[in-house]
Structure 1
Amino acid sequence: MRELTYYVAVSLDGYIAGPHGEFDTFLAQGDHMEPIWARYRGTAPTDLAEAVGFSVADGPFDTVLMGWNTYAVGLPDHHLANPYRHLRQIVFSQAHEAPAGSEGVHFTDADPVETVRALKREDGKGIWLCGGGALAATLADEIDRLALKVNPVLLGAGIPLFAERAYAPRSWRPTSTQTFESGVTFAEYVRA
């Protein structure tokens, strides 16, 4: 069965973006980039990866899931309506329609939990939950792995790793932790 991995950058105080969705304080350069990319190849927008010379082939995922706000980061200023052309892209939204140029991106108002359960039954590689915090909270019981790029910054407020939700505590078992000179700590966990 395929696994769902929540792979995301996060601040020391648990935010994946600032109060207005900004994430520019997360380190995009440093000694952490190549080793993490080697493990999670294909997790950058297609055009960006190609521009910096990172191959998107042979990564651990063939599907990426996003909430609307995560998807909309590339709109309209960045013109990334089809950001991960090398992956099957699913965007969950109740209120938004597909923008121009988004061919290849599947927009749905379907139940995320049922969608993930159906995806897990399919053949293929892993499923990447790219964001955001509200979608992660909805899918908390379906997440099999956490892969966290913990950045040495405090945001103080913003979009939490998991939005508030009434659910029982869940335990995770660490599988690896690596700290880099850049200050980024890369921590991976599986459901205990």
Structure 2
Amino acid sequence: MRRLVYFIAATVDGFIAGPDGADPTGPDGFWPIPQDYIQHLVSEYPETLPAPARAALSVTAAGTRFDTVLEGRRTYEIGLRAGLTNAYPHLRHLVFSRTLGESPDPGVELVAGDPVATVRELKQADGKDIWLLGGGELAGALHAEIDQLVVKLAPLTIGAGIPLFSRQAAFDVHLWELTDHTVLDTGAVFLTYDRKATAPGS
């Protein structure tokens, strides 16, 4: 069965963006993107690079991990504001929104229904794993469906911002096993956690 993988960059204090929700890696962003970080993405997760970055870096590899990407409306609109109607044309691209009436791009599927039901249906289909891009609100809604966490932990704290999971998420304890890690020379750490099969106390 396909897995839902929350592959996400986070600060040491657990935030994925600043309080305004803007792209922290954009031209006016505060998030450092050193060369060894980029090279690790190119070699290990090429499909997670947006199309402009793939073109700039001459990346053509399809990747072996994901063939589908999921994101919420607010995260998707970050790309729209930058003029990108589909940052991931090399993947099946689903955007969850109850307010967008029409997709701005033929390669982007709008989903107004229940994210949990959609993910369960996607898991039953053939294919590679499913990449949950974010943001925190969608991740919170799908917390119980996430099979693997890959946290790109930045050597950075910001004090306040958008958390890894929305504060509206239900209290729902899950145990995770660290199954892989990569420490880069510039300080970022890629941490891979698989969900444990048994719940706490069972």
Range of TM-score over shorter length: over 0.9
Identity of aligned residues (%): 42
Corresponding residue for 1:91? 95
Distance 2:148 2:141 in 1: 15
Contact 2:10/2:151, CA 8 A, preserved across alignment:
yes
Greater shift in the superposed pair: 63-72 or 174-183: 174-183
The Cα of 1:91 is off from its aligned counterpart by 0.2
State how many pairs are aligned. 190
Q: Does 1:45 align with 2:50?
A: yes
Corresponding residue for 2:199? none
Q: Does 1:3 align with 2:8?
A: no
The AA in structure 2 aligned to 1:167 is F
Contact 1:19/1:158, CA 8 A, preserved across alignment:
yes
Distance 1:99 1:123 in 2: 25
The Cα of 1:178 is off from its aligned counterpart by 1.8
Corresponding residue for 1:123? 126
Distance 1:98 1:52 in 2: 32
Q: Does 1:63 align with 2:68?
A: yes
Which runs of 4 or more aligned residues in structure 1 lie more than 6 Å from their structure 2 counterparts after TM superposition? Answer: none
Distance 1:27 1:108 in 2: 33
The AA in structure 1 aligned to 2:109 is H
Corresponding residue for 1:177? 181
Corresponding residue for 2:159? 156
C-alpha distance 48-139 of structure 1, shift in aligned 2 (>3 A):
same
Corresponding residue for 1:21? 21
Corresponding residue for 1:34? 39
In structure 1, stretches of 5+ residues that fail to align are none
* Structure with higher helix content: 2
Distance 1:49 1:27 in 2: 19
The Cα of 1:41 is off from its aligned counterpart by 1.8
Contact 1:16/1:161, CA 8 A, preserved across alignment:
yes
Distance 1:58 1:155 in 2: 32
The AA in structure 2 aligned to 1:116 is V
Contact 1:178/1:186, CA 8 A, preserved across alignment:
yes
**Root mean square deviation of aligned Cα:** 1.4
Distance 2:91 2:116 in 1: 20
